[in-house]
Structure formats: C-alpha cells, structure tokens
Amino acid sequence: MSALVSGSEVALFSIKPTTLDALNQSNQKADRLIASLLKKPRELLSTILISNSVINVLLVILASRLIQAHIQQMPIQGTFWGIANQDLVEFAMITLGITSILVLLGEVTPKSLAHQRNLAFARASCRFLAVTRVLFWPLVIALSKSGIWLEKRIISDNSSINLDEIERAIELSKDSIGEHQSDVSMLKGIVNLGALTVKNTMTPRLDMVGLDWTLTSKEVLDTLLKHKYSRLPVYEGSLDQIKGILYAKDFFAKMKDQRPPPEWHSLLQNALFLPENQRIDDALRSMQHERKHMAIVIDEYGGTEGLVTLQDILEEVFGEFRDDVENSSIAFQRIDEKNYVFEAKTTLSDVAKIVPLEESYLLELGGGADTLGGLVLEELGEIPQRGDEVIKEAFKLRILSLDRYRIKRVHLTLFD
C-alpha cells in the first residue's frame, strides 16, 4: 500500500495536459476520477503525503513490535558501553532494516515504475486516494491552506525586494530614455509580469459572456453578433460547468445562405483551465503551449472565477492594443493585380472594396477583428514580428513594418 501511494504522486503529476483532456472525456470511471482529483492539485498532494505518512508510521509500529518479539527470544547477552547488546540489535534492525525496506520498496522502486507506467499506477491508486481524501479531509484542507500561506509569505518577501530595486532603477533611467516615456511603462510591465497572477488580469465571472448549452443556433448567432467576441465559453446549467469554447469563425464557417447551422455543439473546442493564483508569465507559457487564446480561471474548489485572454496578458506588458481606424480614404498601394500593400488599420470591409475577396469571407476569417492588422494578430496568436506570414486558401498576408509591437503595413498576395 505504501508503494502504491508513493508511486501515485509521480504517476498523477506526470500526466500531460493532452492526456488529462482525454481522461476527462473517457467513459471509464477511474479515468474521470483521475481528472477530478487533478483539478485540485494541492489537495491531492496533501492527501498523498498524509496517506503515505500514516501508512509508513503504522508499518514501522507493526514491524517494531514483530522485531521486538523476535529479538527477545534470541540468546543475545552482554553489553556495549553500558547498553544491552539485545537493545542495540533491536535498534539496528528497526532503524536500518525498516528504513532500507521502506526506501527501496516504498519509494525508489514504485516511483521508478510509476514514471514508466503513470496511467496504470494512477488508475490503480485513484479510488484509494479519493477515499482517504474524505477520511482525512480536515487534515488535507489544513495542510493545503498552510502551504498556500507559507508559499505566499516566502514569495512575497523575496520578490518585493527585487522588484522594488528594479523599479527604482527604471525610474532613475527616465532621463536617459527621454521622449520614449512609453518604454518606461513597458519595462515596468515586464518586471511585474512574474508578480501578477491570473486573478489580477482576468475578466471576473460577473462580467463574463457565455453561451448556454441549451441555446438554439439562431440564439447563438444573435449573441455572437451582439457582443462581437471572437470566442465564447459554453456552459451547461451554470458557469461552473464549462463544456468548451466556441470560436465565432468556426460557427460562421458553417453558415450557408446566411442561415445559422442546425447543430453547433460539435464545433466546440476544449477549454484550457488555469488556477487563479497562477502567475501570468506561467499562464502565458501554458496558453502558448496549448495554442489557446482564452482560458477559464478556476478557484481552489474548481469553480469558475473568470476568464483570461492572450490579449489581456499582452496588454499588461505592452499597454492596450487599439485599432486605429479613421474615417479617411483607403490607404493602399497596388503593385500588380495579385499584390497589394495596405495600412494595417484598413478595415476588412474596405479591403473587400479593393481586392476580389468577399467581405463576408474576410469577416469570417477575422473572427472578432475588423481590421487587416487585427486579422493578422488573431491568426498569429502571439507578439507579431516583421516578416511573419498568415497563409489562407485565397491569399497570403505578410507583415512589412511595425511600430514597436503594433502592425503598420501589410503585404497582401492573392492566389489563383
């Protein structure tokens, strides 16, 4: 039992996010139980540590009694430095013997096996851990809360000194920066990136816009047109039961003859879940790794706290991104019948007036974006760089120039 619990720590926490998504959708109860346990990693770790400690203590007590009973029957005589040899043998067998067995059979071997076959170990141990979590619930909560408090205390004490020193250095450099005062704000944003949590950046639950699972396709269309978001979370019953994320461009792609599709639930993509106390630099890495523009923020009990987007995080560093669309004439350069250069602020509607592309097609690709630069940002999903390309079925876009991180000019090439 000690080996099973010890190995479960490595097995459960080595499960990849993609595998976890599959377990969550599995028909097997054990797989869904594993996914449920991993939704609260602190409580799971506390359960494993408490269970392992209790089992090991009971094993040591039982083994000590057996060794004592066996040693007392052995004809061991004499003393060493005033201590009976019988007591010394008993002490050596208990400390060295039991410790060696526990380390070898209860720690090293099971953890090595669990690393190689994590799913098998996780399935074998999940039911036991679910039961022990209930049995030791007060201890589990106490240990989890203590860990959070201690972690915040250590991190805040260590990081505040370093951040203060760096911010003072940035303030002192203002004179040398001169007219580029916006760079000061950007530097401060980068410095504070590791100190801010997802909760500081997210859209709170009360301000979230979502789609109920029971909505008709017509109601979904009305909601998308009303709020003009490129993606929306879909929930069943309440926002605590997120079913997935609906991308507006996927929905519009299914529309034929300007009519909404009869069935829209199959268009959902898996949602990414992030804990509310995760640092936004870690959240940014998670979103880039999973190629997600949006994540659902959850509290320690698995309830929905809000949502955060890639744009929210980037704006913490670089400031607010604006679509500088002016009511002036369309600025573009026609190189030949297949190649054009546009200002990034040109609306997709205006682009459709110049090139032989349908406005509805461009708006569908743009999702929630209404400018050419916004479409490029939407497709890239990361900080743009000069030369970055977006390739679609009918055309290709290439970034020609930027003003720091804002796209200025885009080269559009039409395909035959």
Q: 192-222 pLDDT, tens per residue?
A: 566 678 888 888 998 899 999 999 988 998 8
Is the predicted pLDDT of residue 328 greater than 60, yes or no? no
How much is the average pLDDT of 349-363? 85
Q: What is the Cα–Cα distance from 317 to 26, expressed in whole angstroms?
A: 39
Q: Are 191 and 166 in contact (CB under 8 A)?
A: yes
Confidence bin at 405 (pLDDT 50/70/90): confident
Q: What is the Cα–Cα distance from 230 to 386, expressed in whole angstroms?
A: 25
How much is the average pLDDT of 399-414? 87
Is the predicted pLDDT of residue 76 greater than 70, yes or no? no
Report residue 333 as tokens: 């350069």
Confidence bin at 15 (pLDDT 50/70/90): confident
Is the predicted pLDDT of residue 7 greater than 50, yes or no? yes
Percent of the chain with pLDDT over 70: 78
pLDDT for the residue 368: 66
What pTM was computed for the model? 0.41
At 291, which amino acid appears? R
Percent of the chain with pLDDT over 90: 13
How much is the average pLDDT of 162-180? 52
Is the predicted pLDDT of residue 294 greater than 70, yes or no? yes
At 188, which amino acid appears? K
pLDDT for the residue 245: 94
Q: What is the Cα–Cα distance from 243 to 234, expressed in whole angstroms?
A: 6
How much is the average pLDDT of 57-82? 72
Q: Which of 123, 71, 64 is CA-nearest to residue 95?
A: 64
Confidence bin at 164 (pLDDT 50/70/90): low
Is the predicted pLDDT of residue 12 greater than 90, yes or no? no
Report residue 412 as tokens: 């559009």
Q: What is the Cα–Cα distance from 123 to 29, expressed in whole angstroms?
A: 9
Q: Are 78 and 85 in contact (CB under 8 A)?
A: yes
Q: Which of 16, 217, 51, 230 is CA-nearest to residue 140?
A: 51
Q: What is the Cα–Cα distance from 405 to 315, expressed in whole angstroms?
A: 11
Is the predicted pLDDT of residue 161 greater than 50, yes or no? no
Confidence bin at 173 (pLDDT 50/70/90): low
pLDDT digits (tens, 9 = 90+) for 88-112: 677 777 777 778 887 888 778 888 8
Torsion 299-305-311-312 (CA) sign? negative
Q: Are 209 and 248 in contact (CB under 8 A)?
A: no
Considering only residues 47 and 16, tell me which one the structure prediction assigns the higher pLDDT. Answer: 47
pLDDT for the residue 329: 52
Confidence bin at 318 (pLDDT 50/70/90): low
Report residue 379 as tokens: 């497709």
Confidence bin at 411 (pLDDT 50/70/90): very high
Contacts of 198 (CB under 8 A, 6+ apart): 274, 275, 276, 277, 278, 279, 280, 283, 295, 297, 308
The upper half-sphere exposure of residue 273, i.e. CA atoms within 13 Å in the direction of its Cβ, equals 27
pLDDT for the residue 195: 67
**What are the domain boundaries of the chain?**
2-135, 198-318, 332-414
Residue 280: exposure state from Cβ atoms within 10 A (0-12, 13-18, ≥19):
buried
Considering only residues 21 and 157, tell me which one the structure prediction assigns the higher pLDDT. Answer: 21
Distances (CA, A) of 82 to 88, 95, 414: 11, 20, 96
CA 125 to chain centre: 25
Domain 198-318 in CATH: superfamily? CBS-domain (3.10.580.10)
- DSSP three-state, residue 282: helix
Report residue 32 as tokens: 């869904």
Q: What is the Cα–Cα distance from 34 to 100, expressed in whole angstroms?
A: 31
Among 16-30, 32-46, 147-161, name the one with the lowest average pLDDT.
147-161
Distances (CA, A) of 88 to 59, 71, 239, 405: 21, 10, 63, 73
CATH fold of 332-414, please?
A: 3.30.465
Q: What is the dihedral of CA 309, 312, 317, 319, to 10 degrees?
A: 140
Residue 128: exposure state from Cβ atoms within 10 A (0-12, 13-18, ≥19):
middle
Q: Kind of pairing, strands 294-298 and 273-275?
A: parallel
Confidence bin at 257 (pLDDT 50/70/90): low
Confidence bin at 348 (pLDDT 50/70/90): confident
What phi and psi values does residue 273 have, to the nearest 5 degrees? Answer: -110, 135
Distances (CA, A) of 160 to 23, 77, 282: 40, 63, 18
Among 62-71, 149-158, 359-368, name the one with the lowest average pLDDT.
149-158
CA 403 to chain centre: 30
Same fold, 198-318 and 332-414: no
Q: What is the Cα–Cα distance from 234 to 271, expressed in whole angstroms?
A: 9
Report residue 349 as tokens: 């509607």
Residue whose entry in the numeric block shows the structure tokens 């009303």: 226
Is the predicted pLDDT of residue 282 greater than 90, yes or no? no
Q: What is the Cα–Cα distance from 39 to 406, expressed in whole angstroms?
A: 37
